[in-house]
Amino acid sequence: MPNNNFIYLDNNATTPLDPKVLEVMMPYLTDMYGNASSSHRMGKQLKKAVDRARGQMGDLIDVNAEDIYFTAGATEAINLALQGLPEKNGKSKHIITVKTEHPAVLDTCRYLETIGVEVTYLSVNSFGLIDFAELKDAFKDSTVLVCVMHVNNETGVIQDIEAIADIAHENGALFMTDGTQAVGKLPIEASDYIDVLTFSAHKFYGPKGIGGLYVNPRIKLKTMLYGGGHERGLRSGTLNVPGIVGLGKAAEVAQYDMLPDSNRIARLRDILETQLLKIEGAYVNGSKGSRIYNTSNMRFERVDNDALLMVLNEICVSNGSACHSFVMEPSHVLLSMGCSTEQANTAIRFSLGRFNTGEEVKQTIAMVQKAVVQLRSMAC
């Protein structure tokens, strides 16, 4: 379902809605418009649809349906988890996270610091990976949580979250991961080692405005949104039934399409990257060996990324996180990996998805090659 007006290579920002998802949502946007908490016949039918979606999401990440909580998206889920953590040993809480986390984690942690929570921000190496020795040295008696994202939204770098979870648990801490870029793209068996996992439907071909979190049943988060006691008292508010149904269908589709998607998209990403690396002064940012299959973060020496985006006006790509797209500053992720400000300001993220084609990749290669030559000649 390509858009004839654009070549869309910004799937880490949001994915298009899969037609199969839209199809199952439509009755809940039209005829089945009731409230899932109502006790009448329609309400009961809507509750069944919500329960079915909860089960579909649980199946995708291998957890019990009752341990899934729906939210308006991953940002809300992250806030609920980080702000709702229980105390440990009666002391002020200590959280360990990483400098390259998504702003939803970093900004929440900075807020928590203002109310007495201590936060340690781990560094990363030039490949974007944390140092396990630094992680082990960061623990304190008051450490309640280690929060490390599974897949980085800007570089696609994959952290070894199973090993990190083991270290957290060995030190008596919980393990939370921002799974926004991983859920629906990579196999995840959350019940084995994850205590809290956050996700958002629009990152795996579902609708915007719906996401959630998995919470290990032995953990009791503090209520952050009071009202009608929805979502077992954790997050009050009338349920977004069309969104929840869409999320459930997207999760079901992901279970079947994940492997063929990953193989086909990886081939397209590798073709794109291989050809663009032939440009003089082109480099890949982050680990190539521990990276999700759809993402290529590249920098082109002597080419300002904002100028490149303007020239590539028919291609949707990104120069950083979509959540900070209007902030004119270099990527905090690339700076943390050791890039200079100048280098970070030459970086572009290409993120491919289910509906991209080989022809689109071919056109993108030609247009980027032409744009880089054009911009370098103008700078001389």
Residue 276 and residue 249 in one domain: no
Of 253, 279, 307, which residue sits at a domain end?
A: 253
How many domains does the chain divide into?
2
Question: Looking at 109, 316, 323, 339, which residue is catalytic?
Answer: 323
Contacts of 258 (CB under 8 A, 6+ apart): 184, 185, 186, 187
In this predicted structure, what is the pLDDT of residue 164? 98
> Which tokens hold the place of 332?
């905090």
The answer to whether residue 1 sits within a structural domain is: no
The answer to whether residue 112 sits within a structural domain is: yes
CB atoms under 10 Å from CB of 238, counted, come to 12
b/e burial code for range 150-187 (CB count within 10 A of at least 16 → b): bbbbbbbbbbebeebbebbeebebbbbbbbbbbbbbbe
222-279 pLDDT tens trace: 888 888 778 887 888 999 999 999 999 999 999 999 999 999 999 999 999 999 999 9
Q: How far is CA 139 from CA 85, 176, 375, in A?
A: 17, 15, 48
Average pLDDT along the chain, 380 residues, taken 10 residues at a time: 82 98 98 93 96 98 97 96 80 92 98 96 98 98 96 98 98 97 97 97 98 95 83 86 98 97 98 98 96 98 96 92 61 97 97 98 98 88
Q: How many angstroms from the chain centroid is the CA of residue 179?
A: 5
Sort strands 7-8 and 174-178 into parallel, antiparallel or unpaired. Answer: unpaired
Residue 207 and residue 277 in one domain: no
Residue 265 and residue 233 in one domain: no
Q: Burial, 251: exposed, middle or buried (Cβ in 10 Å; 0-12, 13-18, 19+)?
A: buried
> Which tokens hold the place of 98?
């990483």
Residue 123 and residue 57 in one domain: yes
Backbone angles phi, psi at 68, to 5 degrees: -100, 130
Cα 186 to Cα 258: distance, rounded to the nearest angstrom: 7
In this predicted structure, what is the pLDDT of residue 31? 95
Structural domain of 350:
7-16+258-379
In this predicted structure, what is the pLDDT of residue 53? 98
Residue 226 and residue 346 in one domain: no
**Catalytic annotation on 323?**
yes
In this predicted structure, what is the pLDDT of residue 90? 61
213 sits in which H/E element:
strand 211-215
Residue 121 and residue 209 in one domain: yes
Residue 231 and residue 285 in one domain: no
Cα 369–Cα 374–Cα 377 angle in degrees, nearest 5? 125
Residue that is written with structure tokens 């019990």 in the block: 64
- Nearest 10 degrees: Cα torsion 68, 70, 76, 78: 10
In this predicted structure, what is the pLDDT of residue 229? 77
Residue 305 and residue 371 in one domain: yes
In this predicted structure, what is the pLDDT of residue 101? 98
In this predicted structure, what is the pLDDT of residue 226? 83
CATH number of the domain residue 130 falls in: 3.40.640.10
In this predicted structure, what is the pLDDT of residue 104? 97
What DSSP letter does each residue of 32-75 carry, written as one string? --S-TT--SHHHHHHHHHHHHHHHHHHHHHTS-GGGEEEESSHH
